[in-house]
Structure formats: C-alpha cells, structure tokens
C-alpha cells in the first residue's frame, strides 16, 4: 500500500469559498416565460398524470365577414346567396405525450471522496456526501429539462410546431399547431440593402396577424442580430427617424415608453431596441435576444452553438396571443409508499419536494408538478431519474409571423 507523506505546509492552508458556475449561468426563459401560460390572454396550464395521448382542438372564425342584406319577399337573386352558418369547424390534433428523461448515477466509491467545497478537515459521512451529490445532480437535471422546454417553446413560436424528438424531420414526430403557411415568408429585399422598405415588411406581417388571428393593437418584433444591424443602417429607416417633430422610428439609447403588456418580454430576457410607427399607423416595439444554447443533434456527435433568435429572422407577434402549457404523465409504474420512504431516507428530500434550482431567469416558469423524480439502487450504486413531458402549443398560432432572409 502506498505511503502518503504530508508536508508541514499542508496544515497551514487556506481554502476559499467554492465557485459554482451553475449558480451564475441563468437558465433562459424568454420564449417560455414571455409567451406561454399568461392568464391575461386566456392561456391555461394543465398537469396530466393518467392520459396516454393529448388532443388539442383549435377553432377558427372569420372575424371580419359582414352579414348580407336580402329582400323580404325573396324575389331578389341575392336570396340565393344567403349564408347558413355551420357550427364547430375546428382542427383536432392527437399525439402521444413526449418524454424528457435524464438519468444520473452515484457509485458507492464516490461517497468516500470529498464533495466540491469540502475542506480536507471536514468530517463528512457517506450519507451527507450522497445528499450533496444527489442535490447537485437533481438541480442540473432540472436545468437541462428547462433549457429543452425553452427550445420547444422557441420552435413553437417561430415555426408554429415543435419536435417530439429533437432534430426530427418526420412530420409524425412533431406537434403541428397548424399555423397558416403564409405566416412564414421571405422578405422581398434583404434588410442589409440600404434602401429596403423594412417598414412595409412590418405592415405586411401585421396585416396577416390581424386578418388571420383577429388580434389588433400594438405589436412586438423580435429581430435577429444581423437583421437589426441591417435595420440600423437602412437609409429609409434613418430618414423616418431624422424628420424633426415626427417620431416614426426610435432606436438607440433614448428611453422608450414601453406599455406594461410588453414588459414581460424584457423581464424574461429580451432587450428593448426601439419602436417603429408603420405607414398604416401601427406601433411595433423592437426587441433583440443575443443568448445561445448548445445542442448535439444539429450535427450528431458535435456540439453546435446556436443563437436562440436566428440572426437572419424577424418574429412579429401580438402580445395578446394565447399560448398554453401542457405537461403529461411519467413513464414508469406507480410509485409505492415504500419507494417514497426509501427515496427520502436515501437522498434527504421527498420526490414531490425536491430542491429547486436557484438560477432560473424567471422562477415562475418552474413548477414542481411538471417533474417526476425517481431512483433505484443496488449495493454499489444508485441511479436517479428526472422526467417531464411538455407540450407548448401556440394556441392562437396565426398571431405570429416569421420573416426570413433578412440578410
């Protein structure tokens, strides 16, 4: 057996407090927290534990059509054009619930090693080391779940659908919320061409929202960084901004009076960049979002760094759009009281009251009812499982327009 020799200096060491980067790096929530589950839009949040499939009904109505006038005696040919209303025209979506599962393991040998932050002189039991490791693994698992939630919410907002399996091209493995195809379009001229009519592009997008979703009022636009660069350099935008006493465009450091219904986007991570008044007298508040995420499915086996908001796209939206949050059941046999007791004795916290992560950008997006915690073990190791089953439908899917090809 090797001999370990300690020098005298080892007894005069000073250890600083541990730096844990997990507590500093915030879990993003801009798309999920900004758009989904807002009660003021009529949005709902459901937690489902005993259903194998999910059905989503979307009923649309033409909110602009007028009634016809006809002659009372029926002699006019117009009487043949009289419409009979038909109720219950709707789209039905039926899919299985998705599943996110993250396993994590702790071996008996690890319980003989110190945890990060412990000093060499701390007397720790194996049980206390197990609790520390389980807590850290649990929090990291929850953080990864929520980053995936944000990715799915992003897909739903930008595309009107989101994956059941990340990176799939199979339509049967997507949740399609039936956004009209016209609500994703390539702009006629790139925004980095100095004379492009960007204001006209905003009017085109807003007209689609008003006609197809019946939402009106002020609007928001989330602009990719390359699109924003083109917007700032655009000569027509500059001309509109430079007209004295006419404030059609406001960009830069000048304070902008942001309506309260748009504050939620700033609170969840978007940056307010400006305001535009369009030719048709519509007000559009401009936002940017410069954070990134890492995935390994764009190029299998390789970590790919991607911006949350694609650089060459612009999302135009109504802040009044309803977007729901749905969370499905776990994929396991029912948990017994014996299993609950074993879990609590082993890890020091209950399955239904596990430690909450402290680095979620918007804590209101975190709800313990959406998670399922479980574990099993042997003499030499334990294995923890964290599951969730999220679906984020853009219930008013036509309240969003994605403009592409800005640069």
Question: If 0-12 CB within 10 Å is exposed, 13-18 middle and 19+ buried, where does residue 169 land?
Answer: exposed
Confidence of residue 20 (pLDDT cuts 50, 70, 90): low
162, 156 contact by CB (below 8 A): yes
- Averaged pLDDT for residues 260-280: 92
More confident residue, 180 or 298: 180
Of 24-28, 90-94, 326-330, which gets the smallest average pLDDT?
90-94
d(CA 396, CA 141): 31
Q: How far, in whole angstroms, is CA 167 from its chain's centroid?
A: 16
Q: Is the pLDDT of residue 72 over 50?
A: yes
- Domains of the chain by start residue, with CATH: 188-324 (3.30.1930)
pLDDT in tens, 222-236: 999 998 888 888 777
d(CA 296, CA 299): 6
Q: Tell me what percent of the residues of the chain surpass a pLDDT of 90.
A: 47
* Structure-token pair, residue 20: 């844990």
pTM of the model: 0.85
DSSP string, 163-225: ESSTT---GGGEEE----GGGEEE-SS-TTSTT--HHHHHHHHHHHHHHHH---S-EEEEE-H
Supply the pLDDT for residue 136. Answer: 87
Supply the pLDDT for residue 380. Answer: 92
Residues sharing a CB contact under 8 Å with residue 328, sequence separation 6 or more, in sequence order:
48, 51, 54, 97, 98, 389, 390, 391
Confidence of residue 209 (pLDDT cuts 50, 70, 90): very high
Supply the pLDDT for residue 379. Answer: 87
Supply the pLDDT for residue 17. Answer: 67
* Structure-token pair, residue 385: 């499982």
- Averaged pLDDT for residues 85-111: 78
Residue 139: closest CA among 49, 23, 235: 23
Supply the pLDDT for residue 300. Answer: 82
d(CA 292, CA 26): 12
d(CA 361, CA 33): 9
Supply the pLDDT for residue 362. Answer: 77
pLDDT in tens, 2-12: 666 655 555 66
Q: Tell me what percent of the residues of the chain surpass a pLDDT of 70.
A: 80
Q: Is the pLDDT of residue 190 over 80?
A: yes
């Amino acid at each position: 057996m090797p001999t370990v020799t300690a020098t005298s200096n080892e007894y005069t060491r000073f250890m600083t407090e541990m730096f844990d980067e997990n507590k500093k790096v915030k879990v993003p929530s801009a798309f999920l927290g900004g758009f989904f589950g807002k009660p003021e839009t009529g949005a709902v949040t459901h937690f489902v534990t005993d259903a194998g499939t999910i059905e989503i009904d979307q009923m649309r109505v033409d909110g602009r059509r007028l009634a016809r006038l006809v002659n009372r005696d029926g002699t006019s040919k117009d009487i043949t054009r009289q419409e009979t209303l038909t109720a219950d025209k709707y789209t039905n979506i039926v899919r299985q619930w998705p599943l996110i599962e993250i396993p994590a393991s702790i071996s008996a040998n690890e319980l003989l090693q110190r945890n990060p932050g412990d000093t060499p002189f701390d007397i720790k039991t194996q049980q206390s080391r197990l609790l520390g490791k389980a807590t850290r693994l649990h929090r990291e698992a929850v953080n990864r779940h929520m980053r995936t939630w944000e990715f799915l919410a992003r897909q739903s907002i930008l595309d009107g659908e989101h994956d059941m399996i990340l990176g799939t091209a199979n339509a049967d493995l997507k949740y399609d919320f039936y956004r009209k195809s016209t609500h994703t379009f390539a702009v006629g001229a790139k925004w980095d061409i100095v004379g492009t009519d960007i204001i006209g592009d905003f009017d085109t997008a807003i007209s689609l929202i008003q006609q197809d979703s019946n939402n009106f009022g002020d609007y928001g636009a989330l602009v990719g960084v390359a699109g924003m660069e083109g917007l700032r350099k655009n000569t027509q935008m500059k001309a509109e901004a430079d007209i004295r006493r006419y404030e059609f465009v406001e960009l830069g450091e000048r304070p902008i009076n942001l309506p309260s219904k748009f504050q939620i986007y700033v609170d969840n991570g978007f940056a307010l960049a400006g305001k535009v008044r369009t030719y048709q007298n519509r007000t559009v508040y401009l936002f940017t979002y410069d954070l990134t995420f890492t995935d390994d499915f764009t190029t299998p086996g390789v970590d790919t760094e991607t911006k949350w908001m694609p650089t060459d796209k612009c999302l135009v939206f109504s802040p009044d759009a309803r977007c729901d949050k749905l969370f499905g059941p776990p994929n396991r046999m029912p948990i017994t009281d014996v299993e609950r007791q074993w879990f609590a004795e082993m890890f020091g916290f209950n399955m239904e009251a596990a430690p909450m992560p402290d680095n979620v950008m918007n804590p209101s997006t975190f709800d313990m009812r959406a998670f399922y915690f479980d574990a099993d073990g042997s003499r030499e190791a334990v294995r923890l499982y964290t599951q969730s089953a999220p679906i984020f439908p853009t219930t008013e899917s036509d309240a969003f327009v994605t403009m592409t090809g800005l640069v």
